[in-house]
Homo-oligomer: A and B are copies of this chain.
Amino acid sequence: MRKRIKAFGEVMMRLEVPNYRTLTQTNTLDVSYSGTGVNVLSALSQYGHDTAMITKIPNNSVGDAAIAHLRRLGIHTEDIVRGGDFIGQYFLEKGFSVRPSKVTYGERKTSSFCTSEFADYDVDSLLKDVDVLHFCGIVLAISEQTRNLAIAIARRAKQLGIHLVFDCNYRPKLWEKQDVEPRSFYETILHEVDSCFMTEKDAQFILGTEARGEATKQQLETLLPIVKEKFSLEMIAGTIRNQTTEITQAIQGYVYWGELFHYSNEYIFEIFDRVGAGDGFSSGIIHGWLTNMSTNEIVEFATAASVLAHTTYGDSPISTIDDIWSVVKNPGRSQLER
């Protein structure tokens, strides 16, 4: 059941202030390397799949470190193109209680990946024998060049019969300064896509509608069928998030497949590291689907995977299949039973 999954996207450097300090208070930073694709592949590699990243990284010490980090996660790095000047990065100042976390991005538009071109990638060779190709909406947002690149690769993958998984990840801020209409690019890409991760807000944006005042589930059950039909999608999935107390959060997963909505249980937990937790969900869905779980199992597995991704360090999920089913079975249990 081992499948070959690749992700096309950017590798980012994460520079985190340790110990709940702020950037002005620290002399040290924790460094790691992530990105939506990296995170999804990290989890899928942990689940036993053969994974590889399609991206471009500079040919210097920073690039070497990024690649070593990806290999540590179990991701194959032979496909990575080397060149360009630098990798994008973000600074993370973790919040505490009512103090929210702060993310500050460095330069991104001119990174090795964001300036890479279709010709940099030996696409047909890279996509050979690939079962699933994953990419995300941020690639659409960065610049015209990355948009075109993403669309070209998606089209070629579609022609080659690869199952395309797309994470909407619509971030209005990233589009703000560009004089383009984001919706048209989403529409273009969604016509290529087979499966998609989307919240009710993403759906509103894509359909150009608003759905005020209704409960989240109502919105989802109204909007997702329209999206699914419009773009001939096989499956749409996502999570509903609630803050339950000052300390705890709750999430519930949903998968819309066939004509049915499947919801997971609601999981309540404390967050340790939220970044990448959504990728924990999407990789769980992909794994469940690739290994022929029932839809109920898929959504339960994926949601518990996302819960664990909130409780582990770093953007990239590292929990094992056993860890995840154990949370499904004992959702409230924790702490060492020596």
Contacts and interface: CB of A to CB of B under 8 A. Distances in A.
Interface of A: 15, 18-32, 60-62, 64-65, 68-69, 71-74, 85-86, 89, 91-107, 110-111, 243, 245-249, 267-272, 274-275, 307-308, 310-314, 318-319, 323, 326-327, 331-338
Nearest to A320: B64
The 8 A-B residue pairs with the shortest CB-CB distance, nearest first, are A101-B336, A23-B65, A99-B311, A97-B270, A72-B72, A24-B68, A71-B71, A96-B272
Contact of A271 (B28, B307, B335): B335
A16 B15 CA distance: 12
Number of copies: 6
29 contacts: A18-B28, A20-B272, A22-B313, A23-B61, A23-B64, A24-B69, A25-B313, A27-B31, A28-B29, A61-B104, A62-B91, A68-B72, A71-B74, A86-B107, A89-B106, A95-B334, A96-B272, A97-B310, A98-B311, A98-B331, A99-B334, A100-B335, A100-B336, A107-B110, A243-B332, A246-B269, A247-B247, A271-B335, A275-B336
Contacts of A275: 336, 338
Contacts of A337: 100
A318 B25 contact: yes
A95 B311 contact: yes
Given A28-B29, A31-B28, A72-B71, A95 B18 contact: no
Nearest to A169: B338
Contact of A98 (B31, B32, B73, B308): B308
Contacts of A25: 27, 313-314, 318
B100 A333 contact: yes
Given A22-B318, A100-B333, 16 more contacts: A60-B104, A62-B104, A68-B72, A68-B73, A86-B107, A97-B311, A99-B272, A99-B308, A103-B336, A103-B338, A107-B107, A245-B248, A246-B332, A246-B334, A249-B335, A275-B336
